[in-house]
Structure 1
Amino acid sequence: MARIPGDPGPWGQVRYTLGLPLPPGNHDWVRHDLTDAGWRGRLLWRHVCLMIPVCAVLALLPGPWWVHVSVPLMALAASLLAVAVTADELRRARLRRHGLAEPPRVR
């Protein structure tokens, strides 16, 4: 896959996934990431990457085997639902954090 101009690289991707703002040189990439087709899928995928370590820790809770499976799965499902429902607001907040114009609201 070809890199987009302003691609932040691996450490920049980690910073971006954690919600930290990127330098102005990456604003074209941020605009592409948050406004181009597939932005919701990328948003959800970043969230899954954040939740994997949390789910791994939850899987270590004491109890029967079904606790080790069901608690992380329920945490992942609930958080994915919350992110999917608030995706538009999360996108607008991230665009504002980078000083970029918000897309027009679709009604």
Structure 2
Amino acid sequence: MSGEPATPTLTQRVRYIAGATLPPSMHQWVIDDLTGPGAARRYHLRILLPIIAPLCVFLLIPGPLWMGLAMMALLYLPLIYFTTALMYVYRRHRLAKHGLDPALADARERQKHAAEREAYERRHRR
């Protein structure tokens, strides 16, 4: 191996987005995808973008345009809320599904708090 982290092919990536697991050689990629920079953005895009096309069916219902848009909003706004609320649970589940430690989902927060704690202790000489 060349030392570079393995990245999934297009087919593997589509299957991964649909919920499939990737081979162990790509575990670092999975960790970076679920916990690295931009993970929240990718998570939201993967869930919230594909649902827009089926929701556009409401625009075909006879009546004023605002009625179809209101029906779309009645479904889409709670989806945004619950998607955001369940992001942490989803990350832990995907890590566990790949055989990785679910605690990796909040590793960055723990590092941040440790750095803050260290700075606090330095300031107050503890």
**What is the aligned residue count?**
104
* TM-score, reference length from structure 1: 0.77
Provide the residue aligned with 1:9 in structure 2: 9
Give the whole-Å Cα distance in 2 for the aligned partners of 1:38 and 1:18. Answer: 19
Name the CA shift for 1:60/1:44 in 2 (closer, same or farther; >3 Å): same
Cα shift at 1:66 = 1.8
Larger RCO (CA under 8 A, 6+ residues apart)? 1
Letter in 1 for 2:17: T
Is the CA contact 1:6–1:25 (under 8 Å) kept in the aligned structure 2?
A: yes
Name the CA shift for 1:71/1:14 in 2 (closer, same or farther; >3 Å): farther
Shift >6 Å, 4+ stretches: none
Query: Which has the larger share of helix?
Result: 2
Cα shift at 1:63 = 4.1
* TM-score, reference length from structure 2: 0.67
Provide the residue aligned with 1:37 in structure 2: 37
Q: Kindly name which structure, 1 or 2, has the bigger radius of gyration based on alpha carbons.
A: 2
Give the whole-Å Cα distance in 2 for the aligned partners of 1:6 and 1:62. Answer: 50
Name the CA shift for 1:57/1:88 in 2 (closer, same or farther; >3 Å): same
Give the whole-Å Cα distance in 2 for the aligned partners of 1:58 and 1:6. Answer: 42
Provide the residue aligned with 2:68 in structure 1: 68
- % identical aligned pairs: 32
Name the CA shift for 1:84/1:24 in 2 (closer, same or farther; >3 Å): same
Provide the residue aligned with 2:96 in structure 1: 96
Give the whole-Å Cα distance in 2 for the aligned partners of 1:8 and 1:57. Answer: 33
Letter in 2 for 1:101: D
Provide the residue aligned with 1:24 in structure 2: 24
Q: Which runs of 5+ in 2 are unaligned?
A: 111-126
CA RMSD of aligned residues (A): 2.4
Q: In the TM superposition, what whole-angstrom CA distance separates every residue of 1:15-54 from its partner, at most 9, and x where no partner exists? A: 1222222222322211101111221111111112331233
